[in-house]
Structure 1
Amino acid sequence: MQRVASVDVYRGFVMLLMMGEVLNLSAVSRALPDSAFWHMLAFNQSHVEWQWFSLHDMIQPSFTFLVGVVLPYSIASRKSKGATFGSLLKHTVKRSVILILLGIFLRSMHADQTYFTFEDTLTQIGLGYTFLVLLAFCKPRTQLITLGVILIGYWLLFAVYPLPDPNFDYRAVGVPPNWPYNMDGFAAHWNKNSNAAWAFDTWFLNLFPREKVFLYNGGGYATLSFIPTLGTMILGLVAGNILRADLEPGKRIRLFLQWGAGLIGIALFFHFIGVNPIVKRIWTPAWTLFSGGICFLFLTAFYWIIDVIRKDRWSFFLKVIGVNSIAAYVIADGGIKTFFQRSLFIHLGADFDQLFGSAYATLVSGALVLLLEWLVLHWMYKKKIFLKI
């Protein structure tokens, strides 16, 4: 089956944002505190503390959204090779389990024992992937009804969970007493480490062997986020169906824009009236809609540039990353990055990163690490080595 080039480039862009963490723009911003430029870049390479979003917060939803986009193509390809529903389902369950275990493995690399956590991107996708594939065989109406049930049900779970009493010890769950990002009123149902998903994890995660009792996640992330994450994948499935449909490019673009603007508008409405805040870390329904809308707009831009007007010469760098996204993820999140960092200091000297001064040290070392990571992916591309699950 012919690949959709814009999807590979979009995925490459997302993975580049993740791999680019090695540049550590926050360190540059701290060294140059009066620079609004570096402050802006640093902000968009960091996750926001709770409400709203940065560019960096769009990595996980984009990666998740694209899982849904490519699924119709993947199923069609396997069917064309004679795959039955049973064989597809067997492969799907296997892939789900591998994604879950790979996510746990990567999070355990620097621990003394297996670190059972389920908020990693790969694990979250794995938890919902089998349901997504089953939905891919359903009618679009069923898919959208399921999306609605997921979002409303997840909203209700938080809304009916009781708010903490006035004597609740926020410090015991990693939240400073006067943390400025805590919300008041009805929106307080979605505050950090005092919500329904946090309560679930204090039970669920302690069922596994742990170095110490789980009390809270420092970032406020939660296992149950896989439920609305499935909603993001369903939105990607909607986009994938539009891409595969027999439509003129202009019609596809109009549909993408309508979906993008509509989802963002609905999410902003719920956010500002206080019904549901936009919080990525617990993947609120408003975040599902808001980030999904942005994903539609990203896909629109890449599709128009790459597949419609075919201005794609610049995109090879991103394509090399995008076609090997699992390899890129492991390189960025695993020990290869650390190996490159150590090797540079061994072979280039302890002060090689001071080339442009101490303020830009992480840019120098990070850029070289990023180049080495890309060269590995380029070698795999040339050798036609593509990691698949």
Structure 2
Amino acid sequence: MDAYRGFVMTLMAAEMLQFEQLHEAFPASGFWAFLAHHQSHVAWAGCSLHDLIQPSFSFLVGVALPYSMASRAGLGQSPAAQFGRALRRSLILILLGIFLRSTHASQTNFTFEDTLTQIGLGYPFLFLLGKANVRTIWMALAAILVGYWLAFILYPAPGPDFPYAAVGVPADWPEHYSGLMAHFNKNSNLAWAFDTWFLNLFPREKPFLFNGGGYATLSFIPTLGTMLLGLVAGRWLRSGLTQREIVKRFLIAGGVGLAAGLILHISGICPIVKRIWTPAWVLFSGGWCFWLLALFYSLIDVANKRDWAFPLIVVGMNSIAIYCLVHLIDRFIITSLYTHLGQGPFLLLGPAYEQLLVGLVTLGLFYLILRWMYRRKLFIRI
């Protein structure tokens, strides 16, 4: 789990390598085009490697819950005390997400669509299902997916005269759908309508009209579905099954999730859209999460090949720390590098590679900080 978590947190931090700039500098290079694509989010429907960061992080919260609950029970904590801790953790995650989103802002930026707040909003419900039987968990997942899909379908789809320009979407945007899937169009769906009411209940510099990326608060509901998939995976890991059987279950679950998501998308029932966390996205991304967990479990636990994963484990065991470092001091470190070293060292390969070299040095400094914390057993837990 720590290696998988470290992998996704490294992908998040690696945004500062800015492969897109290298793709622009070398447009004929398929190599940089490939890396740039997988370091950015798709425009609406579909998936890149970068799109799997948030679902992986959410999935792993579910995987870790059975271990956490067993540990707390072993310490003699009552169910009520454990739930109180879950509520406290939820509140901290929500507030930390808001704080990090408000960095460099003139006032608190009340927004609830980022990874931490989404997990925080759903975590108490995940905890309540933590000791439920497997049948109840699958029923809860089905209720979330069907209910969320139905809620979007019942909300009126945008008509031909819908003012897309007013919500930051070109009227001729190629990602627009018609028919049943039009109910999931960007900034004209149920989740967008909810936020135009909900987010304006908080103090803002100007009224909230839309999110530029189409992200939404209500995505925490299907994100809970992603965490439930992780909860099932965590149960399997602790069930006493053989390693071979665990890997088999991960692979089957992953295949079913990927196939189900694709069928929903291709059939026109529900698009695979990460930004509003559609039910098809829960299944599709959940399938990838099962397969990635199977990969790391097979290499580290089954094949006992651990040495290669040590740097990822260092990052994964302090995931909150690296998340905060990236959001709080990345610009400070980069500015300091230029202040003390000048621009010269980062131009050794030419101007096109400047941001890549700056990013690599910054990532290296982040890793040294995390390695120092690891050696001294300093782990930030929420």
Q: Same fold (TM over 0.5)?
A: yes
**Aligned residue identity for 2:366:** E
Q: Alignment partner for residue 363 of structure 1, among 356, 363, 368? A: 356
Q: Give the equivalent residue in structure 2 for 1:231.
A: 225
> Which digits, 9 at most, give the CA deviation of each residue in 1:11-44, with x for residues without a partner?
0000000010110111111111110110000000
**Cα drift, residue 336 of structure 1:** 1.4
Deviation of 1:350 (Å) = 2.6
Residues 72 and 241 of structure 1 are in contact (CA less than 8 Å); yes or no, is this contact kept in structure 2?
Answer: yes
Match of 1:49 in 2: 43
Unmatched segments (≥5 aa) in structure 2: none
2:158, 2:182 within 8 Å by CA — same for their partners in 1?
no
Q: Deviations over 1:126-165 (max 9, x none)?
A: 0000000000021111111010000000001111111122
Q: Are 1:295 and 2:289 matched, yes or no?
A: yes
- 1:321-342 CA-to-partner distances (Å, cap 9, x unmatched) read 001111011112x221111111
Q: Which string of whole-angstrom CA distances, capped at 9 and with x for unpartnered residues, describes residues 161-182 of structure 1?
A: 1112221110100001111111
Of 248, 251, 256, which aligns to 1:254?
248
Aligned ranges 1:37-186 → 2 under 5 Å: 37-186=31-180
What's the counterpart of residue 338 of structure 1? 331
Partner of 1:349: 342
Larger mean CA deviation between 349-358 and 104-113 belongs to 349-358
Instruction: Report how far residue 87 of structure 1 moved.
Output: 0.7
What's the offset of the Cα at 1:235? 0.1
| Contact 1:65/1:235, CA 8 A, preserved across alignment | yes
User: 2:346 touches 2:358 (CA, 8 Å); kept in 1?
Assistant: yes
After TM superposition, the structure 1 = structure 2 runs for residues 182-193 of structure 1, keeping only pairs within 5 Å, are 182-193=176-187
Cα root mean square deviation, aligned: 0.7
Asked if the contact 2:5–2:57 (Cα under 8 Å) also holds between the matched residues in 1, the reply is: yes
Q: Which runs of 5+ in 1 are unaligned?
A: 1-6
Query: Contact conserved, 2:38 with 2:49, CA < 8 A, in 1?
Result: yes
For 2:196 and 2:243, the matched residues in 1 are separated by 49
Taking the aligned partners of 1:350 and 1:249, their CA distance within structure 2 comes to 51
**1:203-352 maps to which residues of 2 (within 5 A)?**
203-332=197-326, 334-352=327-345
1:229-274 residue CA offsets vs partner (Å, 9 max, x unmatched): 0000000000000000111100001111110001111111111000
- TM-score, with normalisation over the residues of structure 1? 0.97
Equivalent residues of 1:259, 1:293 under 8 A apart:
yes
Aligned-pair distance for 1:215? 0.2
Note the C-alpha offset of 1:113: 0.1
Alpha-carbon distance in 1 for matches of 2:352, 2:33? 13
Tell me how far 1:121 sits from its aligned partner. Answer: 0.2
1:4 is matched with none
SS of aligned partner of 2:59: helix
- Using the alignment, how far apart are the partners of 1:338 and 1:84 within structure 2? 44
Three-state SS of the structure 2 residue aligned to 1:136 is coil
How far did residue 351 of structure 1 move? Answer: 3.3
Q: What SS does the aligned partner of 2:93 have?
A: helix
Q: Shift of residue 352 of structure 1?
A: 2.7
1:12 pairs with 2:6: yes
SS of the residue corresponding to residue 241 of structure 2 reads coil
How many angstroms does 1:359 deviate by? 1.1
Sequence identity percentage: 57
